[in-house]
Structure 1
């Protein structure tokens, strides 16, 4: 039975009466427990579903889940896809998914509906897939349920993934700009106070007030992202690094304002604003990494966007968006056009399917063969029958693989944040105990007690711990960039350091991706005539033949036979079967025949990179045995594997097979490193423990990978692994130092042995030590 519209008693919760019990928005005095009737109804719905745990799990900003006054009136039934087994499926883009708790609430709320079989939400892509048994009109009920919970939903389309940075990202960028600007200006004022030993009290007081006028707005505005997260942590009863940062920054600002009011010798607005600027920079970097994950899916789906020529029953054609074409429609594919949809060929076709299969040369398809979306027509125009709509086709399936792999990695929890769960509560209790002991037990003035308590927070302010991992990462990433390795993921170094198995693609990774003719004593005159015919073709092997004899004149009367080769009178150039020879298994052979003379074979090779054998050996020495996966033929893959020193290999591997192999290695307990350069490698790159793309890789492969090798060759990859391992060792050293430092510093501060100035200096020195140690990560 559906729970939509069912009234339910309000479940008890721990949300403060100063904030809305559902969305967390501030409440006016006497407003009650909810900011609006929509939130009251949403809270009742959550309670009726038995999902009260949502309020303890979420970590969102206030107002994120405030329901709209009116739900959208769009009928979503036409957007439902019916399965062969009688199930219905709807894909939505959901606005308001800001954390794992939101995903949990959406999935659990829909799963509570009796006819729902599954509900799966992707946080990175904001995509929700619901499967159920029943009528298609039930889609409107599900969207209404989401609206009552505070989430807006609309039919999903690839264009939805191209949205610009969301409101949270813009807020973080603004906060970073404010904090950086304020800290730089306050530092100039602080330096004047520090070096002005003979400065008069009046001038010092004026400089303190100037620092306060800049610092207080910066602290209050730039720190909002941390304060919101800290408030969520308080509501959830879970101490976090943001809570420690918030208390430290606010206590420092409050103490500085107190010193300004009484014209004390020093203030600490510079430290508070600098800490905010540094931590905001790290958060912006993390947001950028998540955007790259969404971008890779968008670029893949962009292959199926565009206009196609649909053939009407009367034979005429009309231009329509690819997303409006249904299974069973006929479309015309022009020469050089990309296939936007999957289909079945109605005539022979020659397609460059590298985008979907990884094959280095175009492949012939006979009438009736299945044609993959994303391939490019290299031959004559032909018609095909569409077998799947865009949202159900192979490209959409590959995008779902990318999303699933991205979600499977899980949310990276920083080492420093894990450590903070243990010591942050101790620090807070120590500060409170210090104030209580000095004021209540030792009968000291409250000002003295407050100074000592602030010293505890200052000296244990988690600067060193917050810097322990990011500082090493910044140094290591900069060092790798100078050596031609671009790190594109915030967590790549940690995962790269623990990789224990290498999976390598062939074309464009171990090879240069550019076929060359193998000299075999060919007759120069015959080679020249064959190259003259090859000048009329765009086929990669024909172009490679032309490069071997670039001055060959264009042959006359050349006609292309789709999927076979070229004809010019009695001469033929093309596949071995076309020229009367046996079939070729390696896909790297062109045959040439003139009249009744014996055919001649021109064999080609995709030249192996010069450093491939040495790189494979270096990976093995680092504990990463390599294997080769390729979509090419068996002969080409086996030969390259032998030359490169790769003991294990597999040919004919499509994108699904590559991704399945990565998942199998993971299931066996390995942490695979995937190296690939093509669109067909994107799913495997995303599913791997860590991934890399070589120079010249497709944009999609580079955005899906964690590292991009900017220089030709693979030699930089073993060096990157060594750097990552050294960086992780130094990060652990920094964390240990930070914890030991705090253990020693807290008792000194509690005993009143340090002043706020000394506490700030000691805190700054601990951060400096961490940074200096982090510089070692950049050594060659």
Structure 2
């Protein structure tokens, strides 16, 4: 049966009549498949004897349907193929790592691996369902990659380059190093402890047996210390080379001193060695370091996920109509690209042709699919759900909004806030102070306390260990990265490292009107206007890109554009045929353009429409509130915040919007200088103001406020003067940012308090000789773990819901 015929093959009785056998998408009534591509894919799977896939699979509605595209252009993957050694007979072996889109369950993994295994040259084909990474190894030629992967494309899976550098390879490599060192230290500590316990509780153990136990402990401890101390010794040595002492230096000294003293005791047949303390210290310290790295990794996971969205290839349409696949970095502005249904955009651009719904939840935070058509903006990383689009490229690679979002995230994490600066100052003072304290403890117990040099040195080592400010060093960054990660998931991007601290102290919120409380785009008001007139005017408006004309055309999207429409720049539109008969003209535009002598002042944005034989009609427009604005304003007031609105619009319009939003204090007709003056007045009264504006004419006010937020969509984020930006159609991120900031501030204070309390309790005990190095290691590591776990609470806090109307 030919694929084209199979697409119309009726389903057997009892089968769902409107579901495609292959992809599960809706199919024409009475047909087995939704398209010839699915019919061909089904035939291929059956022909290879892999039809068990359909019995095993579990379709995930969140994953785009597995619909093959017969016209898909194969990407040139030769640049991604790398050598992987040779076979015993000398045949070259090659490897290719790709990302697979379309995987919905374990059955997909089974099918992909079976399809690859059918090729005689393939030596390995493995898929990781979690990361969607496909690793293929084959023998022969590098050019064979296209033929090997062809069955996957024919079935409907979409392949994209896998870039491990974009997936936090450096972070994972560091965590892998920590994990290996932790495993070595843990294994060594457990075994050394067995011999230590034997010595501690051995009854009448002779010195020779005790020395044997110590020698075995040394054989385990010395290599383990040499390997596991690298994460601390490396930064300590680098700091000394740079002329500074880091927190890793006393840790390194404490471990090396304990090990060296134990080797001295071993060489002199001493009764006590401390290999167990040195190795256990490393083990517990590595646990804290690993947990810290994982906490930071969780906060960066969303940013890394955003980067993977831009990892696919882009279908570029040439002037002669041919198509080719390019990596996003090789696409230049001005090119025309195709975005098929189920694909993610690899560039920023504007729609030239086609209509679709876009899922841009990971970019804007908006969960409702956004309809787009000609002229609308599309950003890299967004997913086309149900239609194909032709885009004109505006930005690619590092110039896209997606790349800007990740840069903002990194900038916010790398900055230094007030609490971070406090922790840094304490850490800088810590090294010389703690070394001096450890030395004084040693000299005091040795010279004044009457102890031998070994017990005195142990007390000094315990001071070095117990006073490590690891908990203080983690107190602020751990909370900051968790807060940044949570806000990023909600569509809030921090641009300033101090934004969280300043947001936590806000007591007054000042909002702009246009583009902030409102959506910033006009909507036609049809009160008292004949629907037929609206339709005829919309037919003319469809020929213009003017914002008001677009709003009028959007009111009647089903109306076909009028023929022979020409645009008069700065005036309006003219159609050659009118309703009044042949030769008449219809005009849409300003009063002067349509010839209206109306003395009434314009109450807002307006268009006039005139056609022969009928009086001119005025269309008025309004800028609607954001869907959740009233609920968010009520939420701000409920939290004890004063709310004001400042706008440059007409006072009567401002009053109407304020009443709809529930704002009692407002001013209209303000210039940018007027807004800045009002903020200065509030600041003089002792108020700490959050300014929320669109970042254009509000830039002076945004810069003058105590802290500022700006909504943004197509505008370049770097052009705003705000400390943070939020995306989407909702105003709820403002409420979320304030709540997260206050919660983060409490957690930072708690962590700093825990750190100082720990040191206030343990340092005197260590100086008094009441803490052994092993107990000091346990206490210090426990304090770091407690601080990290406290910071992780921020990520588990329930997200705020402003209430009904927040949609």
TM-score, normalised to structure 2's length?
0.52
- Whether 2:265 is the aligned partner of 1:265: answer no
The residue number in structure 2 matching 1:68 is: none
Post-superposition CA distance 1:183-241 (Å, at most 9, x none): 22210012212333546766654443333333454434334675577x45xxxxxxxxx
Larger Rg: 2
SS at match of 2:588: strand
The residue number in structure 1 matching 2:25 is: none
- Whether 2:761 is the aligned partner of 1:744: answer yes
The residue number in structure 2 matching 1:183 is: 178
Post-superposition CA distance 1:439-466 (Å, at most 9, x none): 2212433333222112112111102222
Post-superposition CA distance 1:329-359 (Å, at most 9, x none): xxxxxxx99xxxxxxxxxxxxxxxxxxxxxx
The residue number in structure 1 matching 2:224 is: 211
- Distance, in Å, in 1 between the alignment partners of 2:252 and 2:674 is 54
SS at match of 2:464: helix
Pairing of 1:486-501 with structure 2 (within 5 A): 486-501=493-508
Residue among 650, 654, 658 paired with 1:637:
654
Residue among 188, 196, 208 paired with 1:193:
188
Residue among 664, 670, 674 paired with 2:691:
674
Shift of 1:559: 2.8
Which has the higher mean CA deviation after the structures are superposed, 217-226 or 548-557? Answer: 217-226
**Is the alpha carbon distance of 1:776 and 1:281 closer, same or farther for their aligned partners in structure 2, counting shifts above 3 Å?**
closer
The residue number in structure 2 matching 1:507 is: 514
Residue among 551, 555, 562 paired with 1:548:
555
The residue number in structure 2 matching 1:365 is: none
The unaligned stretches of length 5 or more in structure 2 are: 1-164, 196-212, 267-272, 301-348, 351-411, 577-584, 799-807
SS at match of 2:446: helix
- Whether 2:603 is the aligned partner of 1:603: answer no
The residue number in structure 1 matching 2:15 is: none
The residue number in structure 1 matching 2:588 is: 573
- Distance, in Å, in 2 between the alignment partners of 1:478 and 1:686 is 25
Which has the higher mean CA deviation after the structures are superposed, 270-279 or 187-196? Answer: 270-279
Q: Is the 8 A contact 2:654 2:667 kept in 1?
A: yes
Which has the higher mean CA deviation after the structures are superposed, 661-670 or 275-284? Answer: 275-284
- Whether 2:614 is the aligned partner of 1:614: answer no
SS at match of 2:708: strand
SS at match of 2:658: helix
Residue among 585, 589, 601 paired with 2:606:
589
Pairing of 1:358-437 with structure 2 (within 5 A): 412-414=418-420, 415-417=422-424, 427-437=434-444
The residue number in structure 2 matching 1:535 is: 542
**Is the alpha carbon distance of 1:256 and 1:666 closer, same or farther for their aligned partners in structure 2, counting shifts above 3 Å?**
farther
The residue number in structure 1 matching 2:254 is: 252
**Is the alpha carbon distance of 1:176 and 1:245 closer, same or farther for their aligned partners in structure 2, counting shifts above 3 Å?**
farther
**Is the alpha carbon distance of 1:218 and 1:767 closer, same or farther for their aligned partners in structure 2, counting shifts above 3 Å?**
closer
Residue among 759, 764, 769 paired with 2:781:
764
Q: Is the 8 A contact 1:588 1:603 kept in 2?
A: yes
SS at match of 2:562: coil
SS at match of 1:674: strand
SS at match of 1:628: strand
Q: Is the 8 A contact 1:248 1:457 kept in 2?
A: yes
**Is the alpha carbon distance of 1:281 and 1:425 closer, same or farther for their aligned partners in structure 2, counting shifts above 3 Å?**
farther
Shift of 1:493: 2.3
Shift of 1:517: 1.2
**Is the alpha carbon distance of 1:420 and 1:222 closer, same or farther for their aligned partners in structure 2, counting shifts above 3 Å?**
closer
Q: Is the 8 A contact 1:179 1:222 kept in 2?
A: no
Shift of 1:623: 3.2
- Distance, in Å, in 1 between the alignment partners of 2:417 and 2:784 is 27
Shift of 1:549: 1.6
Post-superposition CA distance 1:535-570 (Å, at most 9, x none): 111011111111112233333443322222222354
- Distance, in Å, in 1 between the alignment partners of 2:645 and 2:536 is 37
**Is the alpha carbon distance of 1:207 and 1:639 closer, same or farther for their aligned partners in structure 2, counting shifts above 3 Å?**
farther
Shift of 1:250: 3.4
Post-superposition CA distance 1:679-735 (Å, at most 9, x none): 444554455332334463633269754444455412243243233223322322222
**Is the alpha carbon distance of 1:771 and 1:272 closer, same or farther for their aligned partners in structure 2, counting shifts above 3 Å?**
closer
Shift of 1:761: 0.1
- Distance, in Å, in 2 between the alignment partners of 1:286 and 1:532 is 50
- Distance, in Å, in 1 between the alignment partners of 2:639 and 2:718 is 25
The unaligned stretches of length 5 or more in structure 1 are: 1-169, 233-242, 288-335, 338-405
Q: Is the 8 A contact 1:502 1:627 kept in 2?
A: yes
Which has the higher mean CA deviation after the structures are superposed, 506-515 or 193-202? Answer: 193-202
**Is the alpha carbon distance of 1:749 and 1:435 closer, same or farther for their aligned partners in structure 2, counting shifts above 3 Å?**
same
Count residues with an aligned counterpart. 482
**Is the alpha carbon distance of 1:279 and 1:730 closer, same or farther for their aligned partners in structure 2, counting shifts above 3 Å?**
closer
- Distance, in Å, in 1 between the alignment partners of 2:238 and 2:172 is 13
- Distance, in Å, in 2 between the alignment partners of 1:260 and 1:702 is 61
The residue number in structure 2 matching 1:27 is: none
Shift of 1:179: 5.6
Q: Is the 8 A contact 1:677 1:702 kept in 2?
A: no
TM-score, normalised to structure 1's length?
0.54
Q: Is the 8 A contact 1:571 1:594 kept in 2?
A: yes
Q: Is the 8 A contact 1:672 1:690 kept in 2?
A: yes
Q: Is the 8 A contact 1:244 1:424 kept in 2?
A: yes
The residue number in structure 1 matching 2:362 is: none
The residue number in structure 1 matching 2:797 is: 779
SS at match of 1:538: coil
Which has the higher mean CA deviation after the structures are superposed, 751-760 or 465-474? Answer: 465-474
Residue among 231, 234, 239 paired with 1:221:
234
Residue among 459, 463, 466 paired with 2:466:
459
Q: Is the 8 A contact 1:472 1:727 kept in 2?
A: yes
SS at match of 1:265: helix
- Distance, in Å, in 2 between the alignment partners of 1:702 and 1:285 is 29
- Distance, in Å, in 1 between the alignment partners of 2:737 and 2:241 is 37
- Whether 2:742 is the aligned partner of 1:720: answer no
**Is the alpha carbon distance of 1:690 and 1:630 closer, same or farther for their aligned partners in structure 2, counting shifts above 3 Å?**
same
Shift of 1:182: 3.5
Q: Is the 8 A contact 1:641 1:647 kept in 2?
A: yes
The residue number in structure 2 matching 1:445 is: 452
